[in-house]
Amino acid sequence: MTKRAISFSDLKILVEAALVASGARADVAAIMAESVVRTEEAGVASHGLAYVPTYCEHVRIGKVDGQAVPRLERPKPALLVADAASGFAHPAIRLGFEALIPLAREMGVAALAIRNSYNAGVLGLHTEALAAAGLVGIGFTNAPASIAPAGGTKPVIGTNPFAFAVPDGKGGVLLSIDQSASVIAKSEVMKHAREGRPIPPGWALGPDGQPTTDANVGLSGSMAPSGGHKGVGIGLMVELLAAAASGATLGIDASPFSGPNGGPPRTGQFFLAIDAATSSGGLFGERAARLAEALTAQEGVRLPGARKEQARRRHRAAGTVEVDQGLYDKVAALAGAQA
């Protein structure tokens, strides 16, 4: 697989051009391109440039409204509600965070519910933004159904990630947890299917509920829940917060995030921002640092999110990220550029 090094600025320009050429408004394309750059910088290639052809396709066919303008309301003193209007989740999240961060500082805790949105990308990048602002950030996002309940064979909930990020007291992030209700993100199984590679045992189940190493069989069946019924429980919690509590579409009723079938998925997100420094009487930073030290004092142990931070440092030092040449060519063609 041939790789191509590309600078952050050139990557952003490329993604913006592809999205605008597909029908997205310029400011929406810029937000999405920034997210792709941040995702590639963090080393999460499965959610970065690889998603851009799907984004472009979905804008062109109307599965996501590239012209949508999100709306924000404050129905209760510490509660914000954003309607993404069938557009990308990222502009609605950005609009919501502009109000959520100062509101959480004022109230001590504040929540943001987002409805009628689309794939939120790497959820942990959003909660890390809250942590960088000095707040404990918790996020939930639902997805089209792909996990069957324990003992069943028909998917009812999505991979439904949740994310948790803690500030380091210096304008950065101490640790960042980002995990789905499934053993692995569905995008990883899709990646293996595209590349014609088998998946490791335990990633997915076939339509008959039996384990499979065939990525395509897994995609026609069910993602394996992490920890069996415990993963299903986590997925249900996320579904009730991100979809039910936000007024978004349940995963069982949402169209897929991949492919042309169905209209806008109109899924949702839910974020909590907490001023833990105040609730702890000023002790949160010390307690969090103590816990982090107890973890990293053990040889071979790293804090959640450390791998992404290492990737960021490596890519920033190089000034570039490496992307698949074939993928670059496909996005360049969408942008009307020369590969």
Query: Is pTM beyond 0.85 here?
Result: yes
Q: Which of 199-213, 221-235, 267-281 has the highest mean pLDDT?
A: 267-281
| DSSP code, position 170 | S
User: Which of the residues 16, 41, 128, 188 is marked catalytic?
Assistant: 188
Between 171 and 190, where is the model more confident? 171
The arithmetic mean of pLDDT across residues 307-317, rounded, is: 96
pLDDT above 90 covers a percentage of the chain that reads: 87
CA neighbor of 213 nearest in space, from 226, 230, 223, 200: 200
Checking if the pLDDT of 227 tops 60, the result is yes
The arithmetic mean of pLDDT across residues 182-200, rounded, is: 88
What domains lie within the chain, and their CATH numbers? 1-61+305-339 (1.10.1530.10), 71-182+225-304 (3.30.1370.60)
| Residue 34 falls in the annotated catalytic set | no
User: Which of the residues 47, 58, 126, 315 is marked catalytic?
Assistant: 47
The model's confidence at residue 248, banded by pLDDT at 50, 70 and 90, is very high
Predicted pLDDT of residue 112: 99
Distance CA 179, CA 163 (A): 6
User: Which of the residues 34, 46, 57, 322 is marked catalytic?
Assistant: 46
CA neighbor of 119 nearest in space, from 33, 183, 47: 47
| Residue 286 falls in the annotated catalytic set | no
| Residue 315 falls in the annotated catalytic set | no
Predicted pLDDT of residue 337: 55
Give the pLDDT confidence of 117-139 residue by residue, as tens digits. Answer: 999 999 999 999 999 999 999 99
- β partners of residue 322: 5
The model's confidence at residue 332, banded by pLDDT at 50, 70 and 90, is very high
Predicted pLDDT of residue 339: 41
With DSSP H G I counted as helix, E B as strand and the rest as coil, what are the percentages for the chain, rounded to 5?
45, 20, 35
Predicted pLDDT of residue 338: 42
Distance CA 179, CA 90 (A): 19
Mean pLDDT score of the chain = 95
Joined tokens for residue 54: 């799907």
The arithmetic mean of pLDDT across residues 240-264, rounded, is: 95
Residue recorded with tokens 């007291």: 169
Taking each helix axis as running N to C, give the angle between helix 89-107 and helix 123-132, from 0 to 180 degrees, rounded to the nearest 10.
30
